Structures are given as structure tokens and as C-alpha cells.
Amino acid sequence: MNRRKFLHLSALTAPLLAAKKSIAGNFEAPVKPIVISTWDSGMAVNAAAWEVLSKKGRALDAVEAGAMKMENTPDCCVGLDGYPDRDGIVTLDSCIMDEYSNCGAVAGLERIKHPVSVARKIMETTPHVLLVGAGAQQFAVQNGFPLESGELSESAKKAYADWLKKSEYKPVINIENLPVRQAGKKGNGPFAPMFFEDGSFNHDTMGLVAMDSSNNLSGAVTTSGMAYKIHGRVGDSPIIGAGLFVDNEVGAATSSGLGEEVIRICGTHLVVEFMRQGLSPEMACKKAVERIVKRNPKKAKELQVGFLALNKKGQYGAYAIQKGFVFSVKSERENQIHQSKFLL
């Protein structure tokens, strides 16, 4: 074979060899699109996001659709049917972040059904990132979001009346995984391991991150936060770098659990930075969990935080302080719930 012919043949076969390597290498070809969500309720969230992703839609639209799905579900663990603060008022926190590091957030928002969409509106139409309380509500109404009644759902009313008898606040591990509105009964989710005799139910969060067919990442979080919190308390969920962080060069992460602990370590930013250093999503989440536990090992036994992360290859992973954190994954390869590894 002369040199010219050899070069010609090499040019033809090189792409074929590269393609073969990427299939054999399994993760060299990114798994995309893909969406991952906290908790087993993430299955419904992922289905809503997949409607967008499977049509080659943008990850940003997918994560908004996923979060809205939870906010729309009656008697669900996030949104206006969530449990109130100690003054009997439901306040919502949410954020969203796209592939350009654009982000928007709301905190302490009352009487608006879709905080995630208000967060997106802030991101897309204002020079700001975070609006809170009355100002956030004013912005929402001015932008056409209907003002809802603000009345508690029947089950939230009952739970609040019960709570008022003792007026105690105690974080409950894996509270998000309790079957909603079945407090006091044995868990019936696939991994519902917790059974609270007193039926306490005080904390709800939904976070999801996705990568679309164009390899772009986005994420969203929505929550009613801790039930019976001090009026005005804001958790990690609307704080960019705590409850959610997206870096389109590296990956994205979200968190669930006791927000104060996540804020203290800038949790999801830390997870993404660990991935930037070359750690797998699971190892990055583990290192962030270790950071929380190291700070106060005794206190960590009493609380739950779980991190969930996705990298640009479509690899995902999670890690939690305690047993019981689960997450849901949807891609062309799978549609299922996974149990997170845990430290303690």
C-alpha cells in the first residue's frame, strides 16, 4: 500500500474506530437526554421532563415542567398544599438555573402556585437573581401569575392544628419519603423505610437536573420548606450553590434535606467543584456529605441531607448522611428509582 492510499484509508476508518471505542467505553458517548430527580416522587417529575427532552427540547424547559408537575399535584409534598410555617402560612422557595449560568429564584413566596415559573421569569426578564416575600409576590402578580386563596389544604389544616398542641419543631430524617398525607401509617413507597409513630411531617423538597440532546444542563428546585419553620425562614432550595448548581462545562447537582446544613457548606457548588476535579458524581456527593458530618458528627446523626449529581457524560450519583434517600432516573436506558448510598 502506498502512503497516499494508507492515509486515505486511515481517514475513512478512524471515525469508525472512534465510534466503536465510545460504545465499548460505555460512558464515552454521553447518555443523553437524561433527567434525575430527588425521591421516588421524582418518577412523575421525570415523566413530565421527559415529554420535553424526548422531543429534543431544552433542559431548561424540561426541569421547569418537572418542577411544575409537583407544584400541580394536589395534596402533594411541595407547593401550596404543603405544610405551613408556625404562623399557619405556606411559603414557597424555588430556583432554576440554565446552561449559561443564568439563574432565578424566589423565597418566602405566598399564594402563588408555580414558584419555579416565577423564578424563571426573574431570570429571564430582570437583572436580579432572587426576589423574596411580598416583593416576589408583587412581581409574580404583575407578571400575570394568579393570586391563590392562601387557605391551607384540609390535611395541612389538620396537621397544623395537631402541631399547635405542642408547637415543637424537630427535623425528621427522610421526611420527603413519607407517603404524603398518610402520616402515622406505614410507608408504602418502594423505599419508604421510615415510620413515624407520631405522624410528624415537616419538610418537603423536589430537586431535579437534566441534560438535553444538545448536551446542555439545567436544574430546578421547588419546596414549601420545613413545616412549622419560623416565618421568614429560607432553606437551601432557592439559594444558588446550596440547593442547586449547574456548570455546563462540568455537571449539575441538587440537594434535599435540612437546608441549613447545605447552606453552611455551599453544598451543590461544592459537589460540582469536586466533579470538576475529576470525581464521579457519587464520590463528589459523598465528599460533600462528609464535609457536613465532619463539622458536627453528633448533630449529623439526627439529620438528613442527600445530594444528587449529574455530569456531562450523563453519569449520575447520589450520597446521603442517612439511609433512606432515594432518587429517580429517566433516560433511554432506564426509568427507575435508585437507593442512595449513605455515610452513617
Q: Measured between alpha carbons, how far is 219 from 236 in angstroms, rounded to an integer?
A: 14
Positive/negative CA dihedral, 330, 333, 336, 340: negative
- Contact indicator for 118, 95 with CB cutoff of 8 Å: no
Q: Which residues 150-209 are close enough to bind ligand GLY by CB under 6 A? A: 205
CB atoms closer than 10 angstroms to residue 24: 8
- Selected from 202, 256, 311, 340, the binder of ligand GLY by CB under 6 A is 256
Q: Measured between alpha carbons, how far is 238 from 105 in angstroms, rounded to an integer?
A: 5
Q: Tell the smallest beta-carbon distance from residue 24 to ligand GLY (Å).
A: 40
What residues are paired with 240 via a beta bridge? Answer: 244
Burial bucket for residue 176 (CB in 10 Å: 0-12, 13-18, 19+): buried
Q: Tell the smallest beta-carbon distance from residue 308 to ligand GLY (Å).
A: 12
Q: Tell the smallest beta-carbon distance from residue 166 to ligand GLY (Å).
A: 21
Q: Tell the smallest beta-carbon distance from residue 73 to ligand GLY (Å).
A: 18
Strands (E) across the chain are located at 34-38, 92-97, 103-109, 130-132, 203-211, 217-226, 244-247, 251-257, 305-311, 316-320, 326-331, 335-339, 341-342
Q: Which is nearer to ligand GLY, 61 or 236 (CB)?
A: 236
| Site track for ligand GLY across 208-247, x = CB under 6 A | ---------------x-xx--------xxx----------
Cell numbers found for residue 38: 430527588
Q: Which is nearer to ligand GLY, 171 or 193 (CB)?
A: 171
| Site track for ligand GLY across 37-76, x = CB under 6 A | ----------------------------------------
Q: Measured between alpha carbons, how far is 268 from 330 in angstroms, rounded to an integer?
A: 21
Q: Tell the smallest beta-carbon distance from residue 227 to ligand GLY (Å).
A: 10
- Residue type at 54 in one-letter notation: S
Per the residue annotation, which of 205, 222, 223, 254 is the catalytic one?
A: 205
Q: Which is nearer to ligand GLY, 94 or 248 (CB)?
A: 94
Size of the site for ligand GLY (CB under 6 A): 11
Q: Which is nearer to ligand GLY, 226 or 329 (CB)?
A: 226
Q: Tell the smallest beta-carbon distance from residue 98 to ligand GLY (Å).
A: 21
Q: What one-character-per-residue DSSP string does 68-85 give? A: HHHHHSTT-SSSTTS---
Q: Is 205 a catalytic residue?
A: yes
If one asks whether residue 261 binds ligand GLY (CB under 6 A), the answer comes out as no
Q: Measured between alpha carbons, how far is 13 from 4 in angstroms, rounded to an integer?
A: 15
Catalytic residues: 205
Interacting residue ranges for ligand GLY, rule: CB under 6 A: 205, 223, 225-226, 235-237, 256-259
